[in-house]
Every structure is written in C-alpha cells, then in structure tokens.
Structure 1
Amino acid sequence: MKRVTGLGGVFFKCEDPAAVRKWYAERLGIPSDDYGLNFTWREAEQPERTGLTVLSPFSKGSTYFAPSEKPFMLNFRVENLPELIEQLRAEGVTVVGEIQEETYGKFGWILDPEGNKIELWEPAEEE
C-alpha cells in the first residue's frame, strides 16, 4: 500500500499570521489566501492533475497542533486515508482524534515518536 505521496504543507505558529502571509506574498511573490501560501504543481505520473502544497502560518495561541506542544506541524498527502490510519494504529502509532471529511479531502492525525503531530490528508478527487 502506498502511504505518503507528497508534502501537503508545513504549518507553523507566529504572532500575526495575516501579516506573515502578506509579507511572504509581497516580498517573495508567493500566492496567498486565507489558508496560507500556495505552491501549485503537477503530478509526475499524471501531469494533467495539479496538486497543492501550502506554507501556513497559524496564530501563536492556536490549539490545532495539540496534543503536541511544538510550534509546527507537517501535513502529508496520502492515498486511502482510512486504510492507512488502521494500518498505522495496528503498528502501534498513536492516532489523534477521528478522520474528518471536508469538501477538499479527508484528514487524520498521528503523533511521531517525539510527540510531533502530523496531519495526513487524502485530497478530494477534484483537486
């Protein structure tokens, strides 16, 4: 089973997420929206399909990374998230919460051995 297929994003805490997004957009020319700074690319095996990787600043007080106390979180693109979560659970990996489904995909969370929260994202087919 294929597990991680790419980097979905890097999330980090900062004092003023809107100002940070604006700085990166204005100073470095990275396209930005409310979710962060967006890097669009094409899949090597299916060049007609595009993908998205996001650099996303979060408020310093955000609890989205909990239970990790680290100021960052990685987001990895995956295939078949429910099957992967069950496989990881069977291997003894700590799973955080339940899978959530949004219009843009399914999300699940795990902890690495250092307690870093990792978000797993199965993008919706339309992406």
Structure 2
Amino acid sequence: MKKQILIALIATVLFSCTTSKSTTMENSKKQTAEATKDNTPKVTGIGGIFFFTDNPKDTREWYAKNLGLEINNWGASSFDSRDVHNPDQVNTLQWTPFKTGNDYFSPSKKDYMINYRVQNLEGLLVKLKENGVTILDDVVTYDFGKFVHIMDAEGTKIELWEPVESDPDKVKK
C-alpha cells in the first residue's frame, strides 16, 4: 500500500511539474509574440529599387542574360526574403528599370527612387507632417498594400509602402 501511495505521489508531482513547465513555455511564447507586435511608425525594409535607363527592355534583357534575373510580367524582378523577427513572413523587393524621363519619379529630378516598406503608415504620416516633410499625394490602397509618396531633404521622391498583413495560414513557406 505504501508503494502505491508513493507511486501516486510521484506521479502527481511529475504531472504538476510537466503542466507547470508547459504553461510556463506557453506564457513565454505568448509574451514573445506580444513583444514582437511593435507598431512603431517606421521603415522596416526596402520594398523596391526603381531607376531610369535609356532602354528598359535592353536593360532587363542584359540583367536576365548576365546576372540571371527573372523578369516578371510587369517588367520587374522580385527578390524574396524572410523577416528576421517573423521567419514565416516572406518579404519581396522589386527591382524595376523605368524609361528615362518617366514621370513616375516626378517631381524629383533624380535617376532613381526607393520604395521603403513601412509599418503603421498612418502613424508615420502624422510624424512626417509634424516634421515638415513634403507629402506628395494621398494614401492609395491596393490589394497588396497602401502607398504614399514623400520628398526627402535632397529632393528625392520616396515611395512608402505598407504591405497587407499576411494571414498566417496563407504565408508562403
């Protein structure tokens, strides 16, 4: 009888330790997930590099032939990467040559434009307005995110892009 009580007592202690450890691990994961939900208005990466070229078709062909870039249907090349803080999230950078003089870069006189991936675009716009930054247009929303254009201190047009949040069940693996 003493052996049975001892075995029951040991089983109870082991079960409570396992449950406590499991609960502690779940709480730790939950706290980590909550800590990574940073919503500070800021740039989180580069979404695209756009530049002028005299002959976009030849430029795309040269990069495809010599550097192996795969050109998609809209004349760009997409580079996928993973978010260090959220490895299940796939980010994409667009490389796109534009015909020299294309007005998409206007009013900038520069030969390039960078698209920055941001979080909390609306909050960032409040901050930029407070800092006197020139905002060129209203936020436009598409299926793949929100966009707005600003000018930096050197007169370079910058595109800000807040991607649509990924559905964890639909993330590319």
Report the TM-score when normalising by structure 1. Answer: 0.92
What residue is the counterpart of 2:146 in the other structure? 106
Indicate how the Cα distance of structure 1 residues 25 and 103 shifts in structure 2: closer, same or farther if over 3 A, else same: same
> Which residue does 1:24 correspond to in 2?
63
44, 65, 79: which is aligned to 1:39?
79
* Higher helix proportion (structure 1 or 2): 2
AA of the residue aligned to 2:45: G
User: 2:147, 2:121 → 1: CA distance?
Assistant: 8
Identity score, percent: 40
1:13 corresponds to which residue?
52
Which structure ranks higher in relative contact order (CA pairs < 8 Å, sequence separation ≥ 6)?
Answer: 1
Q: How far apart, CA to CA, are the structure 2 residues paired with 1:59 and 1:82?
A: 31
Higher CA-based Rg: 2
Q: 1:71 and 2:111 equivalent?
A: yes
SS in 1 for 2:135: strand
Ranges in structure 1 where 5+ consecutive residues have no aligned partner: none
- Tell me by how many angstroms 1:105 deviates: 0.9
Q: Give the secondary-structure state (helix, strand or coil) at the position aligned to 2:124.
A: helix
Choose between structure 1 and 2: higher strand proportion.
1
- Secondary structure of the corresponding residue to residue 97 of structure 1: coil
Corresponding letter in the other structure for 1:95: I
Equivalent residue number for residue 57 of structure 1: 97
Distance 2:162 2:113 in 1: 16
Task: State how far apart, in whole Å, the 2-side matches of 1:103 and 1:2 are.
Answer: 21
Secondary structure of 2:65's match?
helix
Count of paired positions = 127
Look up the equivalent residue of 2:100 and give its one-letter code.
K
How far 1:125 sits from its partner (Å)?
Answer: 2.1
SS at match of 2:136: strand
Any idea what the Cα deviations from partners look like across 1:14-43, whole Å, max 9, x if unmatched?
112122122212210122212412211111
1:90 aligns with 2:130: yes
Residue 124 (str. 1) matches residue 164 (str. 2): yes
Give, as a single letter, the amino acid of the residue that structure 1 aligns with 2:151: L
Q: TM-score, normalised by structure 2?
A: 0.69
